[in-house]
Structure 1
Amino acid sequence: MNYPETVHYLFTRLPMYSRIGAAAYKGDLGNTIALCDILENPENRFKSIHIAGTNGKGSVSHMLAAILQCAGYRTGLYTSPHLHDFRERIKVDGKEITEDFVVDFVSHIQPHIDTIDPSFFEITVAMAFDYFANQEVDIAVIETGLGGRLDSTNVILPELSVITNIGYDHMHILGDTLEKIAAEKAGIIKRDIPVVIGEFREVTGPLFVRKAREKHAPIMFADRERSATNWSFEGQDMKIEVTIRHTDIKDYYTLDLAGLYQTKNLLTVLQAVQQLREKGWNIKDSALREGLAKTRALTGLHGRWERLHQHPTVIADVAHNEDGIRELIRQIEVTTFHQLHIVIGMVKDKDIRSVLHLLPQDAHYYFTQADIPRALPKEDLWAAAEDAGLQGKAYEDVNTALQEALGHAHKDDLILVCGSVFVVGEIDRGRL
């Protein structure tokens, strides 16, 4: 098989959560362990950082990878899902896995697929580990796919564990309370391995502390160590003032990620870097600042308050759950524009009504759906939105909806595309 045939095989032969939902989720680590055994346990041949969380884990993963790369370390990065090309999931020093490696890996593992019956995600995790070992990375930043305790990535023994935050998402799998969700995320906490928690919440903080004590794992809450005390936007960059708690000590950082929610992610990253330094990783202040200022450029991160067009401004953001949309609304409230247009599509297994009730009623809406079986039909989204007091029309696909929004927008308007990673991934940027 060539590369397109190989990717088609992966997408169609293996259960894929992003396309079909919970039916693709494997609730144990057995398949991943079996695949790693076949590959002679590549996960043991490189250092790693393990990152979980409801929101922010993608941004934190990319920031840390950029910083480590700037510090001179050969750095792997595994994230999911991808926006455009499968190879976005697996990178070394910002460069995507080669097509040849993907083809060769699948050819090698294919005889074992009928026996093991792995999911798409389990195969990609094993592929990432094999690639990082092959490339002899110094360290790899590994983002969980879903949850933590039973996530396929949870076979690694990392240098550091990071849990960004806890919110309501994937409740049909992880549980219907924040405590249950937190317990699943806390499953990445390992014995004697330090863990950084991005946000302390009264309902989940004690659970993390208890779990860390059970594992003798040093635990730090990033937002109890520092606070973001001021910020400003300069184009696609963001300037942030950070104050160390209970002191007058301030520092200033520039991010090439402009979303206001990145202030929380920055605090998590700063605490993670401090822990890595204490473990002996040589990360100079210049590397820290360069990595933060060039995260998008070095790692290819997209879909986080990303400006795709000006006059009118078109922003793409992958926010898709209640907490993510809340942060998006905060960003909208500090953004200057004449009229707001929102192109939105969602997937079936999200809490649709909670999201819709957060959205502003004075915006113009363009309801659509991604080209995946898991997508919520645009007519269903439109009907639920009308019940929530939102006005708009339904469109066949995201690009039709976006062109309609562009046709109605004034040059000073804001057009926001959100609601699903898959909707953002289907934007045809060449038409903007």
Structure 2
Amino acid sequence: MALHPKVIDLVLDRVHDLLAALDHPERRIPPVVHIAGTNGKGSTQAMLRAGLEGAGDRVHAYTSPHLARFHERIRLAGDLIDEAELAALLEDCERANGGKSITFFEITTCAAFLAFARTPADWTLLEVGLGGRLDATNVIDPRLTVITPISMDHEAFLGDTLAAIAGEKAGILKRGVPCVVGPQEDAAREVIEARAARLGAPLLVHGQHWHVTEEAGRLIFQDESGLMDLPLPRLIGAHQVQNAGMAIAALRVLDRAAGAEAAMINAQWPARLQRLRHGPLVDLAGAAELWLDGGHNPAAGAALAEALGRLPDRPLHLVCGMLNTKDASGYMAPLAERATLLHAVSIPGEANTLPASDTCAAAARAGLDASVARSVADAIARITAQVPDARILICGSLYLAGHILRENG
């Protein structure tokens, strides 16, 4: 396979060419819900999938990046794709591509479409990889689109203003196709509304057409169809209440509101403030709590800080590794008031890791006391030697989270 020299190259020509060579599997997949946004895409998709399955439907799902193993990206009618089947699909795509240049994400997206076209299901949930307008997934005719909260991230590819980034995300809107819009800053919402008006795409906007709140330990969702009183999401944090609202609004549009309770109680999404309870790192932590989160931008840091503030009080120590493309200080700043100390690590096996010393310097700029650790295990050992009952949060990158999930079993 001739991989394109750029890991990311946002054009759709190569995808269109390969899909044509494959006889357009993207036209034969079950009805699509297409999800873009900066934060909350994966959690919203997980809750929407749980809700559709709770309503009795079979659901394909495509997400990225993977955490521990690549085949996590593709679910066929609810089950993770078999690795041998995935390998065969990629070989089919490579043959059809005829040695032409293509990116890794483009060919794997085409393989997912091929899998979805060959396996019966009721729905297909597609998560955008990067941006929206020129993302490899943006070659379908969806039944519904969803735009989760937009914030600053991937500026080198999407633009250096919120409005520019929102313009790229809003590129998934299609003529006449409804879109559920999550909580947005004014600059982002105005861009989405303007594009929707040009396309005649009906919007269901948070705060206008639907509302979601937490009241007395319950989730209250309300739209023009009425009020729903549901359990709080299984996923932790106030931001997950917002994500749940987007999933419920989508279920309403799809006439699958019967699955709303299942969306709350059955959804699982690793590395989103996930408590680790088994494995060698948990054994090393002893009486300390060990948590994992893959958030990596300032909005994610703020959501994480809010969620941590709701947990029972314990001394909080961060073990943090980040990519060199991220706003490290911006991510850490909201966490400074919660954490006792940050232990900076480099992400093992990741070429684009921010060196631990640079992560430590970014933490200091964010107002956090910090030190460099040789590894996550080294950091945990040092923390528990001094604070046996600490709450330890491994954070800063989905790539670090994936490494932990692989190494910790």
TM superposition score normalised by structure 1 = 0.86
How many Å apart are 1:78 and its aligned residue? 0.3
Structure 1 Cα separation of the partners of residues 42 and 342 of structure 2: 27
Secondary structure, counterpart of 1:261 in structure 2: helix
Superposed CA deviations along residues 88-142 of structure 1, whole A, max 9, x for unmatched, are: 0001243111112122122223345564311111011111111111112221100
Is residue 2:160 matched to residue 1:176?
Answer: yes
Is residue 2:265 matched to residue 1:293?
Answer: yes
Structure 2 Cα separation of the partners of residues 396 and 327 of structure 1: 28
Written as runs of structure 1 = structure 2, the 5 A alignment for 1:199-210 is 199-210=183-194
Secondary structure, counterpart of 1:224 in structure 2: coil
Q: Could you tell me which of 383, 394, 403 is aligned with 1:417? A: 394
Structure 1 Cα separation of the partners of residues 98 and 379 of structure 2: 41
Structure 2 Cα separation of the partners of residues 407 and 224 of structure 1: 51
Structure 1 Cα separation of the partners of residues 401 and 384 of structure 2: 16
Letter in 2 for 1:341: H
Counterpart position of 1:330: 306
The answer to whether the 8 Å contact 1:398/1:423 transfers is: no
Structure 1 Cα separation of the partners of residues 80 and 228 of structure 2: 37
Counterpart position of 2:352: 374
The answer to whether the 8 Å contact 1:318/1:420 transfers is: yes
How many Å apart are 1:31 and its aligned residue? 1.1
Deviates more, 1:141-150 or 1:250-259: 250-259
Structure 1 Cα separation of the partners of residues 392 and 192 of structure 2: 39
How many Å apart are 1:246 and its aligned residue? 9.7
Counterpart position of 2:113: 129
Counterpart position of 2:404: 427
Superposed CA deviations along residues 320-376 of structure 1, whole A, max 9, x for unmatched, are: 001010111111222222211001111111112222333315521111122211111
In structure 2, the CA distance between the partners of 1:404 and 1:212, relative to structure 1 (3 Å rule), is: same
Counterpart position of 1:48: 32
Counterpart position of 1:150: 134
How many Å apart are 1:245 and its aligned residue? 6.6
Written as runs of structure 1 = structure 2, the 5 A alignment for 1:202-281 is 202-230=186-214, 239-244=217-222, 249=227, 251-277=229-255
Letter in 2 for 1:304: R
Counterpart position of 2:88: 104
Letter in 2 for 1:335: L
Secondary structure, counterpart of 2:152 in structure 1: coil
Superposed CA deviations along residues 189-208 of structure 1, whole A, max 9, x for unmatched, are: 00111111111432122221
The answer to whether the 8 Å contact 1:74/1:93 transfers is: yes
Alignment root-mean-square deviation, CA? 2.4
Stretches of structure 2 that go unaligned for 5 or more consecutive residues are none
In structure 2, the CA distance between the partners of 1:209 and 1:431, relative to structure 1 (3 Å rule), is: closer
Secondary structure, counterpart of 2:243 in structure 1: helix
The answer to whether the 8 Å contact 1:34/1:116 transfers is: no
Is residue 2:287 matched to residue 1:320?
Answer: no
| Number of aligned residue pairs | 398
In structure 2, the CA distance between the partners of 1:396 and 1:116, relative to structure 1 (3 Å rule), is: farther
Superposed CA deviations along residues 261-314 of structure 1, whole A, max 9, x for unmatched, are: 10110111111111112xxxxx252x2212321111xxxx20111111384221
Secondary structure, counterpart of 2:169 in structure 1: helix
TM superposition score normalised by structure 2 = 0.90
Superposed CA deviations along residues 199-228 of structure 1, whole A, max 9, x for unmatched, are: 143212222111111111111103333434
Q: Could you tell me which of 167, 172, 176 is aligned with 2:151? A: 167
The answer to whether the 8 Å contact 2:21/2:97 transfers is: no
